[in-house]
Amino acid sequence: MAYHRPSGLPEEYPSSSAADFKSDTVTTPTPSMLQSMLTATHGDDVYKEDRTTNDFQARVAEMCGKPAGLFVVSGTMGNQLCLRAHLHQPPYSILCDYRSHVYTHEAAGLAMLSQAMVTPVHPKNKVYLTADDVNEYLILHNDIHTAPTRVISLENTLDGTIMPIEEIAKISALARRHNIRMHCDGARLWNASAETGISLSEYGKLFDSMSLCMSKGVGAPVGTVIVGETDFIETTNWFRKQTGGGIRQAGLLAAAADTALTEIFPKVLKETHETTKKLAADLAEMGLTFQLPVETNFIFLDLEKANIDPKVLVEESKKVGITVVGARIAIHHQISLEAIEKLKVAVKNTIDICKLSTTQVEKPEGSLFYSGFDKVVH
Ligand SMILES: Cc1ncc(COP(=O)(O)O)c(C=O)c1O
């Protein structure tokens, strides 16, 4: 199978992200997203008076099978507002995968904003949490020494892997039995849905709240939508205001996000997954292996196993004119075919250089996140 450009996009439009494999957040607005901003309404969204924003929130909420939605500036804000709104009287704790963004990459927001303890759980299968994993670590008792579990927060996709819906359903049933809320960090739930064909509302049934990012694979410049019951979303709106997240003429941003959704989800997004899998197959032929199954738009190279120094990969990538920051390779709809070919050249050159080196590559000291070996922490 040959690589091909995602269909349905304008033939020619320049994007600074065409050779940038760092993340899917680097995607830039397409001409039609910019065009839609010109026709957005200009009401004040803090007064809930902006039609474009109201319509867009309602659109995403409906897709997710929920009565209400709220447009917020970022995925971090979406997660933190939802988790804060689920929690009432500390002490309490949130159970999540140990790699979860809410735990590892949101600047201690759970401690600062929700006063929550976190129970980070390592999935036994090394890919996704199961109901058995969760059950083992739930804190259910009234022992005054503990912080009972009040929320289970699942991330889907997580590092590009899709959580099987059957497992989510089991965890959700377990949570409901114990009156525990379920939150989904669905920054990339679009990818999971596009890949599996499972609708967002099917996922929505299993969660009390979901946070869906518009500015990652879907490609909008700004924004996340959180969805849930009407009262719940009212509470998140309160906390959004408190954290300075009220946006006045939000319609300009909501319009771009609305167009992005129409343009990219689900077909174009799925095409980026096909490209990712094809690239993974080509890299595997060069002898590389991966830390995780390649299921959507991320490849996590096992650089350690291949004795590849991440710094060499970063340098060789620079030399051929592309951006790679370490083990994680992100594919998005603006990556050019030329950039993919350059990536393969950079990887081949890196392998050749590292083969000549007889010394074992040393793991950097300190946190493995962003080290180039990122997330080899099983
Ligand atoms: C899984 C996940 N959740 C949440 C976020 C936070 O999104 P933002 O950068 O918009 O705050 C990210 C960001 O990359 C993410 O990968």
Task: Please answer whether residues 226 and 72 qualify as being in contact, where contact means their C-beta atoms are separated by less than 8 angstroms.
Answer: yes
Mean pLDDT along residues 169-185: 98
Mutate to test the pocket of ligand 1, among 105, 158, 240, 369 (most ligand atoms within 8 A of CB): 105
Q: Which atom of ligand 1 is nearest to the CA of 75?
A: 7
**Å from CA of 354 to ligand 1 middle:** 33
Question: What CATH number does the domain located at 1-29+266-378 have?
Answer: 3.90.1150.10
Mean pLDDT along residues 212-227: 98
The amino acid at 187? A
Mean pLDDT along residues 315-344: 97
Q: Which atom of ligand 1 is nearest to the CA of 216?
A: 14
pLDDT given at position 5 = 67
**Å from CA of 102 to ligand 1 middle:** 8
**Å from CA of 26 to ligand 1 middle:** 12
**Å from CA of 45 to ligand 1 middle:** 23
Q: Which atom of ligand 1 is nearest to the CA of 73?
A: 10
Question: Is pLDDT of 376 > 50?
Answer: no
Instruction: Domain ranges for the chain, please list them.
Output: 1-29+266-378, 40-264
Q: Which atom of ligand 1 is nearest to the CA of 77?
A: 11
Residues 22, 19: Cα–Cα separation, whole Å: 9
Residues 302, 347: Cα–Cα separation, whole Å: 12
Cβ atoms within 10 A of the Cβ of 274, count?
15
Structure tokens at 49: 């008076």
**Å from CA of 342 to ligand 1 middle:** 27
Mean pLDDT along residues 310-322: 97
Q: Is 341 exposed, middle or buried (0-12, 13-18, 19+ CB in 10 A)?
A: middle
Angle 291-293-298 (CA atoms, 0-180°, nearest 5)? 80
Closest CA to 156 of 106, 118, 113, 195: 195
Structure tokens at 240: 């959004």
Question: Is pLDDT of 375 > 60?
Answer: no
Question: Quick one: three-class SS letters along 222-266?
Answer: CCEEEEECHHHHHHHHHHHHHCCCCCCCCHHHHHHHHHHHHHHCC
Mutate to test the pocket of ligand 1, among 76, 77, 79, 155 (most ligand atoms within 8 A of CB): 76
Q: State pTM to two decimals.
A: 0.95
Mean pLDDT along residues 14-34: 95
If you take atom 6 of ligand 1, which residue's CA is the nearest one? 75
Residues 181, 150: Cα–Cα separation, whole Å: 6
177 versus 375: the higher-pLDDT residue is 177
CA atoms within 13 A on the CB side of 44: 2
Looking at the chain, list the stretches that DSSP marks H as alpha helix, in order from N- to C-terminal side: 31-38, 51-63, 75-86, 101-104, 109-114, 131-137, 165-177, 189-196, 200-204, 230-242, 251-264, 267-285, 310-320, 337-356
If you take atom 7 of ligand 1, which residue's CA is the nearest one? 75
pLDDT given at position 360 = 73
**Å from CA of 215 to ligand 1 middle:** 9
Cβ atoms within 10 A of the Cβ of 315, count?
15
pLDDT given at position 377 = 41
Residue 143 Ramachandran class (φ > 0 left, ψ -120 to 50 alpha, else beta) = beta
Which range (15-19, 137-141, 369-373) has the least confidence?
369-373
Residues 80, 74: Cα–Cα separation, whole Å: 10
**Å from CA of 187 to ligand 1 middle:** 6
Mean pLDDT along residues 91-102: 98
Closest CA to 261 of 153, 206, 333, 352: 333
Question: Is pLDDT of 27 > 90?
Answer: yes
pLDDT given at position 59 = 98
Cβ atoms within 10 A of the Cβ of 35, count?
13
pLDDT given at position 356 = 82
| pLDDT range class, residue 14, cuts 50, 70, 90 | confident
DSSP code of 139?
Answer: -
Domain pair 1-29+266-378 / 40-264, same fold = no
Mean pLDDT along residues 322-350: 97
Tell the CATH topology of 40-264. Aspartate Aminotransferase; domain 2 (3.40.640)
**Å from CA of 36 to ligand 1 middle:** 25
% of the chain with per-residue pLDDT over 90:
89
Task: Please answer whether residues 97 and 129 qualify as being in contact, where contact means their C-beta atoms are separated by less than 8 angstroms.
Answer: yes
pLDDT given at position 311 = 95
Question: Is pLDDT of 187 > 90?
Answer: yes
pLDDT given at position 320 = 98
Question: Is pLDDT of 370 > 70?
Answer: no
Q: Please provide the average confidence, as pLDDT, over all residues in the chain.
A: 94
SS3 120: strand
**Dihedrals phi, psi of 322, to nearest 5 degrees:** -125, 165
Mutate to test the pocket of ligand 1, among 77, 100, 101 (most ligand atoms within 8 A of CB): 101
**Dihedrals phi, psi of 195, to nearest 5 degrees:** -75, -40
pLDDT given at position 33 = 96
Q: Are strands 93-97 and 117-121 parallel, antiparallel or unpaired?
A: parallel
Mean pLDDT along residues 227-250: 98
Mean pLDDT along residues 102-117: 98
Residues 117-166: tens digit of each pLDDT: 999 999 999 999 999 999 999 999 889 999 999 999 999 999 999 999 99
Contacts (Cβ under 8 Å, ≥6 apart) of 250: 45, 50, 52, 53, 71
Ligand 1 pocket, Cβ-based, cut-off 6 angstroms = 25, 74-76, 79, 101, 155, 185, 187, 213, 215
SS3 375: coil
Residues 32-41: tens digit of each pLDDT: 999 999 999 9
**Å from CA of 142 to ligand 1 middle:** 34
Residues 208, 231: Cα–Cα separation, whole Å: 12
